[in-house]
Amino acid sequence: MKIETKQEILEVLRMPFEEYRHTVMAEAARIHREENGNILTATAMLGYDNICKNQCLYCGMRAGNSAVKRYRLDQEEVIRWIGVAQAKGFGRLFLVSGEDPKYGFDHLLAIVHAAKHAGMHVSLACGEFSLEQYRELKNAGADEYVMKFEMSDREDFDRLNPSTSFEKRIKNIGYIKQCGLKLASGNIVGYPGHNDSKAADDILLMKELEISWAPVIPYMPALNTPLAKEGGPGSIETNLKEISILRIMMHSLDITAQQPGRNLAQGLASTEGNLEALKAGANMLFADMLPDAMAKNFSVVDNRSGMGMAHLEEMAKLSGMELKLRAN
């Protein structure tokens, strides 16, 4: 099966769901099974700081949301949690934070250095930096940086991300690639104003950027956010179709399986949502290292709850995939 052009992507996005399930979804699962060893990649997640200066209109952690209980873990504490992840056998670490100007960059470098010293594959999502800073992160041992473009439509981006601009975001993506870091990037599916044509453009941009990981997610209206008043949620079906299209277009790509199901009250830890995403060709799940009470406050979406190893093991069992904790 070949999916390359915008027209071919649109055909899948507009296909009846049952037809998609029996054709495109099955093909994506086959590719992952036969070419990637049917591995479910487990990554330790450390949301070490939920303070953010930005005002993205869709995000529960935006600066304007006073309902969020904020926290910032210091360097020593983060390194201690990295030790916990290592002791549990994880070889992959995802360090994620809001865009917090008060988090000392030297501290972040020391954290990355410690994680690399512990032999981990290190991915980060800590916001926009300068070219020089990305270079320093790479030199400290970072492997991959997550810089989502969120929406390839320039006007939509500038409206929904008032603290930055589409131009600046694409420039940052260029910096990340220039430094030799792997680039993780993706979109939000079905935000108010999104449509199939824009989704197809998003997918083509991911391909063009030669991403290593697609952290895609359907739009989920978050409490106390301006965009929640405009509609949503995004379609779970379109999100699943996008996952399968990405697997078929980029066979060895990492794709987030931490997806909501039809009951949004279960947040991203939905057994149904995660399992469907794995069947659609996704391969990556996260285990929260922080205590549940803290993980809940890393609230880019509502109903966030800490996902532990038991959930990942259950997902591996239900999907028939092999759970892998080591990086290679």
Residue ranges in contact with ligand SF4 by CB under 6 A:
52, 54, 56, 59, 61-62, 98-99, 127, 300
Q: How far is the CB of 129 from ligand SF4 (least distance, A)?
A: 12
Three-state DSSP state, 62: coil
57 or 85: CB nearest ligand SF4: 57
Place of tokens 């501290």: 107
Place of tokens 């993780």: 184
**Cα distance between residue 64 and residue 61, in whole Å:** 8
CA 129 vs CA 134, 146, 163: distances in Å:
7, 12, 14
What is the CB neighbour count within 10 angstroms for residue 104? 12
8 A C-beta contact, residue 97 and residue 125: yes
Q: How far is the CB of 321 from ligand SF4 (least distance, A)?
A: 29
CB proximity list for 145: less than 8 A, separation 6 or greater: 123, 124, 125, 134, 137, 176, 181, 182, 183, 184
- For the packed helices 236-249 and 26-35, what is the interaxial angle rounded to 10 degrees? 40
269 or 300: CB nearest ligand SF4: 300
The count of C-alpha atoms lying within 13 angstroms of the C-alpha of 126, restricted to the half-sphere facing its C-beta, is: 29
What is the CB neighbour count within 10 angstroms for residue 74? 14
Tokens of 48: 């070490």
146 or 285: CB nearest ligand SF4: 146
Instruction: Look at residues 246, 219, 210 and name the one whose alpha carbon lies nearest to residue 12.
Output: 246
**Cα distance between residue 240 and residue 105, in whole Å:** 37
Q: How far is the CB of 97 from ligand SF4 (least distance, A)?
A: 8
Q: How far is the CB of 156 from ligand SF4 (least distance, A)?
A: 14
**Cα distance between residue 280 and residue 30, in whole Å:** 10
Instruction: Look at residues 245, 220, 244, 243 and name the one whose alpha carbon lies nearest to residue 231.
Output: 220
Backbone φ and ψ of 100, nearest 5°: -110, 105
**Cα distance between residue 31 and residue 37, in whole Å:** 9
Q: How far is the CB of 172 from ligand SF4 (least distance, A)?
A: 12
109 or 300: CB nearest ligand SF4: 300
